[in-house]
Amino acid sequence: MRLKIAVLAGDGIGPEVTREATNILRAVAELGGHDFSFVEGLIGGVAITASGTPLPTATLDAALESDAVLLGAVGDNKFNSLTPDKRPEAGLLQIRQALGGFANLRPSVAYSALSASSPLRPEVTKDVDILFVRELLGGLYFGSPRWWNKETNEAINTMRYTRDEVVRVARVAFELASKRRKKVTSVDKANVLEVSQLWRATVAEVAKDYPEVTLEHQLVDSMAMHIMNIPRNFDVVLTENLFGDILSDEAGVITGSLGMLPSATIGGAVNLYEPVHGSAPDIAGTGKANPLGAILTAAMVLRHSAGLEQDARAVEQAVQKVLDAGYRSADIARGGENVQLVSTQEMGKRVHQALTESIDRRQAMHAV
């Protein structure tokens, strides 16, 4: 398997967690005899410092010439006085748009070892494994007209979707559900919004091509409640841009820390992979950053860009094993017995070790 990965580590803890994620990808390549190559590029504050722009052309070209882009995080307080279009975060918005991914995948998985880190009771989070499929290029965030008239004190944003935009993201959700627990929950506000009525009718139409997958519809307001009450009931949750933004953040609570959450954006020219967290300037350089969100993001690279499902699962199981053994970064050290606080690098090493052992074991079994 050949894969060219553009690594854009970015700012703050971005380089710290990305280093651990790429180490894991290198290990998978080495153990499985795959040809993974890595090309580095600047984005965000480090790019502004080096070249005056948050997304230099060289970085964008490298990204577009790759099979996958692995991004750390952007953001640096020293650029806070710049206008939004010149700040590090502008680089992220620009690269997302240039790569054109329309389906944002955000898993929300409860690790039993971390049940004390979530504010939800362990019996509520037990066995939760939700995959959000959020439409990323349409809806309120992009619809026009949009304006704010400060003289009349009136503002407008437009929620707009076309049938084709719904079909393509719904297909992603059904394809993924067919490889999981075979259930799609489509979230809308069809009792009030015409856009949601189009959404619901279109999703129901797409569902006919996937008879093995069960489709249910939920209104977004009651869904916000169900996610906290009965998260175990959900497999793939399909929804539009704004609702997905809010609900996937809400579901992040299940895992217990922002540092645990991976994401992938697929469907465009090149898939973009990034942990959900930001550059966390408050802990940058202290060795306190949790690299597991970035490492789980690397697992998504293996699954969605390399087609290496078995290796993706091996990485996820290695993370589980390290957590079960009691290793914790500071953000997930709350509660639990026999926990051992470790640095970013140490956590990465532990996952690497667990992964190596599991792949070695798998290869030994195949050799017999």
**Residues at the site binding ligand NAD, with contacts judged by CB under 6 A:** 13, 17, 73-75, 89, 92, 258-259, 274, 277-283, 289-290, 293, 329, 331
Sign of CA dihedral 271, 261, 104, 124: positive
Sign of CA dihedral 98, 103, 107, 108: positive
| Closer to ligand NAD by Cβ: residue 213 or 253 | 253
- Residue 273 appears among annotated catalytic residues: no
Give least dist CB 89 to ligand NAD, A.
5
C-alpha–C-alpha distance, residues 343 and 160, integer Å: 45
Q: Which of 61, 85, 221, 282 is catalytic?
A: 221
User: Does residue 13 contact residue 283 with C-beta atoms inside 8 Å?
Assistant: yes
| Closer to ligand NAD by Cβ: residue 47 or 73 | 73
Helix (H, G, I), strand (E, B) or coil at 325: coil
Q: Residue type at 339?
A: V
Q: Which two tokens stand for residue 211?
A: 């008879």
Q: Which of 11, 111, 189, 321 is catalytic?
A: 189
User: Does residue 331 contact residue 282 with C-beta atoms inside 8 Å?
Assistant: no
- Residue 221 appears among annotated catalytic residues: yes
Give least dist CB 215 to ligand NAD, A.
31
Helix (H, G, I), strand (E, B) or coil at 269: coil
- Residue 245 appears among annotated catalytic residues: yes
Token look-up 């060219």 returns 4
| Other residues' Cβ atoms within 10 Å of the Cβ of residue 217 | 17
| Closer to ligand NAD by Cβ: residue 213 or 322 | 322
Give least dist CB 245 to ligand NAD, A.
12
| Closer to ligand NAD by Cβ: residue 50 or 204 | 50
User: Does residue 121 contact residue 262 with C-beta atoms inside 8 Å?
Assistant: no
Q: Which of 141, 183, 324, 349 is catalytic?
A: 141
- Residue 189 appears among annotated catalytic residues: yes
- Residue 249 appears among annotated catalytic residues: yes
Q: Which of 67, 129, 249, 324 is catalytic?
A: 249
| Closer to ligand NAD by Cβ: residue 185 or 271 | 271
Give least dist CB 217 to ligand NAD, A.
30
Q: Looking at the annotation, which residues are catalytic?
A: 141, 189, 221, 245, 249
